[in-house]
Amino acid sequence: MDLIALGLANREIARELGIELCTVKNHVHHILEKLGVRHRVEVLAYTRHGG
């Protein structure tokens, strides 16, 4: 979630973590779903407000 909040693209996250792009997409999808948000920018708002 920290890397999403930093504004990194999926490809950058995959490279940073050494995992496949499709794995990042799956994880991001599940994070958004669990937080109840639809867009990555909402993750930033969530983390800034102590979520």
Structural domains of the chain, ranges and CATH numbers in brackets: 2-48 (1.10.10.10)
Residue 39 CA to residue 7 CA, distance in Å, equals 12
Give 3's Cβ-side CA count (13 Å radius). Answer: 15
Residue 47 has pLDDT above 90, yes or no: no
Give 14's Cβ-side CA count (13 Å radius). Answer: 13
The mean per-residue pLDDT over the stretch 25-32 comes to 95
Q: What single DSSP character describes residue 2?
A: H
Residue 25 CA to residue 20 CA, distance in Å, equals 9
Cβ neighbours of residue 33 closer than 8 Å, sequence gap 6 or more:
none
What's the pTM?
Answer: 0.81
Residue 13 has pLDDT above 70, yes or no: yes
pLDDT in tens, 31-46: 999 999 999 888 888 8
The mean per-residue pLDDT over the stretch 16-26 comes to 98
